[in-house]
Each structure stands twice: as C-alpha cells, then as structure tokens.
Structure 1
Amino acid sequence: MSTVPGWPVELRHGPVTLRPWRLTDRRAWDEVRRRNAGWTGPWDSTRPPESIEPPLTFAGMVRQFNKRARQGSMLPFAVDYLPPEQRRPALAGQLTISGITYGSASWAQAGYWVDQRWAGRGIIPTALALAADYCFFTLRLHRLEVAIRPENVRSLRVVEKLGFRHEGFRPRYMHVAGDWRDHEMFALHADEVGPGLLARLENLP
C-alpha cells in the first residue's frame, strides 16, 4: 500500500499550522468541542444507527487517524493558530483529507471546521489552501472534493473564495447531525489550480 511521503507532515503559512493530532491534544480538544457544540453541531458528521463501528475515544481517534495517515489514505490535521496577542498557538480547528485514492482515480475529499472564537480570520481558507497544494503538488493527486450542506453558508464561502467548482447536488449524501443530509459538491482538478491555492488566496483583492 502507498504511504504518504514523509508522514508525519506539518504545513505552515503565517499564523496557521497544520500538524498531526497528538494524544496530548485531548484537553484542548475537549474544551474546544464542548465550547463549540452549538457552532459545529449542525455540521458534524455522525454514524447512522446501523453502523457496525464502535464509538471512538479521543485516543482511539488519534491512533486510527495516524494509522490511516501512515497507510496513505488520510491526512488528519489539527489546525493551530497563533493570534498576534498570544505567544503560544491555540488549537483552532480541524482539517481532514480523507479517502485518498491513487491509480486511475487519484482523488481525495476535504472536510473542516473552525473554533467560533477564531472565525473570520481566514484560518480555514489558509488551511484548505495549504492542504490542497500538498495534495496536488506533493501527492500528485488529480482531484480534490469538498461536500457541504446547502445551509452551511460559512463553509460555502471557503470553497467559493478558493475557486472550487460547483459540480452539483447530492441528496442524502452523508450522515450529519443524526440523519442523512443533502450536500452540494465542489471540486478542483490539478490542471485548474495554476501555481496553487495558497498563491490564489494571497492574490485575492
């Protein structure tokens, strides 16, 4: 099985850093998730009642993430942000590249969320641009997808800002917030990104 080059991977631009999850993140994870329950809850993926997978603890999630990353099927990033008023970075969110497939498909899918405390600072657009450039230029993937619920206006703004192409509507596409939910699908191909999404983001007016 293919392995992700150089995993663990850390990507950084300005105050935003993408890094692997650590077991020592548990306290910060618990605090951020508890404080953001109302902010992220409507958009959080959930497992359907018929799922045969057991629920994961935080430690189990980290171990599973890093195992899949070493196998080459996932890039599970914690998103750190260093505010100008602080000396140490804060855990600001999550960005996951999942379903990495090579061969004739050569694609993956991105998902993300940000702590409401830091929303509006360009953290997730930067994080997605960093991860997408890594997928296209290092992993040499052909396609990156993002599936977003039609009601999630903030997430829609992220892909619009980065120039993802809208491909259509997928009914009952993913189990989110306790039910199968409709999603809009956005994608980019490697031959559409030019010098990269980070460069595109920096050149926005």
Structure 2
Amino acid sequence: MTADRYLATGPRVGIRHFTPDDCAEFTARARESAALHHPWLQPPADDDTYAGYTAKLREPLREGFLFCERDGGGIAGYLTINNIVHGAFRCGAIGYGGFAHTAGRGLMGEGLRLVLRYAFDVLGLHRLEANIQPGNERSLALVSRAGFRLEGFSPDFLFIDGAWRDHERWAITSEMLPEDETP
C-alpha cells in the first residue's frame, strides 16, 4: 500500500477507505477473529457479505475506514461512521473492530484517533457516538483512552447474537480532542 492512498497516517497506522480488492484479506481476518468478536459483532466473513457491507458504505450518510499497518499495509481493523446527520447536529455513530493478529498492540487506538481527527476536520462532524455492550471491556477501554465520555445507558438497544442487548452510550465532540493530538 503506497502512502498516497492513505487519508491520514500515524506512526504505525494509515487509514483508508474500503475497496473491492480488500475482500479476500478482510474476510480472512474476520474468520480468523471470530472468537475475539463473538458475541459483540460479526464483520463480513465471506465475499457476498463483504460486497453488501461495502455497498452500504457508499451510501451518503456512511463512511468506512480500514486501519492498515504502515509496515506492510496489512489490515489491522476497521471503523464505520453510520447515521451521519449534517446541519446543526453534525453527528455520527461509530462501529469498529480489530483483528486478532494485531490485538493488544495499540493499533486500534491509533487508528481511532486518526479517524476522529478526519471526521472532525475533513468531514466537518462535531460529535461521534459509540454504543457498547457493558461486558465488552476492550471496547470500553478503547473509547475511554481516546477521550470519549460515558453519557448514558440504553436498555435493549441493539439486536445482536439473537437477543436485544443493553449498551452504554459514549461520545466525543471535536472540542474534546486536543488540537495537537497525534496517534
């Protein structure tokens, strides 16, 4: 992956949009990471599901980003911004996942900070929300380290893994991200 294809870079991570060419690597990483993701999320693990997922990311009120290791360009994780509202609200809801082969190396945190800066500076958003199941300790730690604040609790919020799941609502605004924030 050449650096010019990245939307933003940090010391170890570059962020870029999904492409059709990423299907084989992304779905293989999703299958390898199934135990890490269960029961929190189910990223696309086959060609058809990936095609449908990336088609949705081309809708006007969504953005999708891959977190790629700058050393080799392999996909370390991903983040989507959904339900983007412009105008006075300028908000979106994020969903994300890391892959098992890079777990525990801080690449998700670096990628998240790059996307936050991109969302606030380039996309013109003011606020991003993350809804996280209370038992998902790794995800809660990720947003907490990135500067999100806990704003509330939503019972029976999303239907995941066969049941309605409670979620904590975390958010960050552009003012909460330091100007000199670097990944």
Q: Same fold (TM over 0.5)?
A: yes
Provide the secondary structure at the position in 1 that maps to 2:105. coil
Q: Structure 1: where are the runs of 5+ without partners?
A: 1-7, 47-55
Q: Is the 8 A contact 1:17 1:80 kept in 2?
A: yes
Q: Deviations over 1:107-146 (max 9, x none)?
A: 0111111111111111111111111111212222221111
Match of 1:77 in 2: 65
Aligned pairs, number:
175
How big is the shift at 1:105? 1.3
Provide the secondary structure at the position in 1 that maps to 2:171. strand
Q: CA RMSD in A?
A: 2.0
Q: Is the 8 A contact 1:172 1:182 kept in 2?
A: yes
Q: Is the 8 A contact 2:119 2:125 kept in 1?
A: yes
TM-score, scaled relative to structure 1: 0.78
Matched, 1:13 2:5: no
Q: Is the 8 A contact 2:34 2:42 kept in 1?
A: no
Query: For the residues of structure 2 that align with 1:33 and 1:194, how far apart are their CA atoms?
Result: 33
Match of 1:38 in 2: 35
| Within-5 A mapping of 1:147-158 | 147-158=131-142
Work out which of the residue numbers 61, 64, 68 in structure 1 matches 2:53.
61
Query: Displaced runs of 4+ in structure 1, greater than 3 A?
Result: none
Q: Is the 8 A contact 1:45 1:174 kept in 2?
A: no
Pair 1:163–1:57, CA change in 2 (3 A) = closer
Query: For the residues of structure 2 that align with 1:45 and 1:24, how far apart are their CA atoms?
Result: 20
State the identity as a percent.
31
Provide the secondary structure at the position in 1 that maps to 2:179. coil
Q: Structure 2: where are the runs of 5+ without partners?
A: none
Pair 1:17–1:9, CA change in 2 (3 A) = closer
Query: For the residues of structure 2 that align with 1:64 and 1:164, how far apart are their CA atoms?
Result: 26
Pair 1:89–1:34, CA change in 2 (3 A) = same
Structure 2 counterpart of 1:62, one-letter code: T
Match of 2:154 in 1: 170
Pair 1:166–1:90, CA change in 2 (3 A) = same
How big is the shift at 1:32? 0.8
Query: For the residues of structure 1 that align with 2:112 and 2:145, how far apart are their CA atoms?
Result: 11
Query: For the residues of structure 1 that align with 2:79 and 2:69, how far apart are their CA atoms?
Result: 13
Match of 2:94 in 1: 110
Q: Is the 8 A contact 1:15 1:82 kept in 2?
A: yes
Structure 2 counterpart of 1:165, one-letter code: R
How big is the shift at 1:60? 2.7
TM-score, scaled relative to structure 2: 0.86
| Within-5 A mapping of 1:113-132 | 113-132=97-116
Task: Name which one, 1 or 2, has greater alpha-carbon Rg.
Answer: 1
